[in-house]
Amino acid sequence: MVSKVILLLSAVVLAASPATAVPMKTAVFDFDLIDDSQEGEMNGVRADETARLKLISDELRAKLTEDGRYDVVDLSPIADDIKRAAPMYKCNQCEDGLAQRVGADYLMIGTVQKVSNLILNLNIYVRDVKAGKIIKVMSSDIRSNSDDSWMHGIHWVIKNQLLADKQPGQQ
């Protein structure tokens, strides 16, 4: 009799427990710069902006890992292929195949579009790898070209758009 009660209580507890979501395996590619500024046209790539792209890419991965809804996959096994395909926003969906090779169900690519040193726009695109389509687009305007403003932009998108609702694929 006691074992039946314990079994029944166990079943009730399990039924009442919320289902634990499995973290989504996600390939997070480094951000790319789209420099539409006159300065960029005249002077080319700036070292500080290249460093900022790495800074916000690493921050995005860290925040996703910390949140727990995403399992950020290691891209180092395909690093050479990523370099050949870069920039990701121009590779005609080659990122899907790259993400599949590392076992990702979803991928994220990001861009920072620079109009001037005062006007920049940070974008994140989430793709469902199996479906081969974009399922979410997020964006934030940045005012000033500094580490602080870029970090503020990535934090705003993460908090208010990316992690503000359910993860991709959830109903």
Interval 130-141: pLDDT, tens: 999 999 999 999
pLDDT (tens digit, 9 = 90+) per residue, 116-126? 999 999 999 99
Backbone dihedral angles phi then psi of residue 61, each to the nearest 5 degrees: -60, -45
Q: How far is CA 163 from CA 16, 22, 136, in A?
A: 25, 15, 12
CATH dotted code for 23-162: 3.40.50.10610
* DSSP H or E segment with residue 88: none
- DSSP H helices, the chain, are 2-16, 38-43, 47-67, 79-85, 94-101, 147-157
| pTM (two decimals) | 0.82
Give the span between the Cα atoms of 113 and 13, in whole angstroms.
Answer: 51
pLDDT (tens digit, 9 = 90+) per residue, 153-168? 999 999 999 999 765 5
Domain boundaries of the chain, sorted by first residue? 23-162
Span 29-34, mean pLDDT? 97
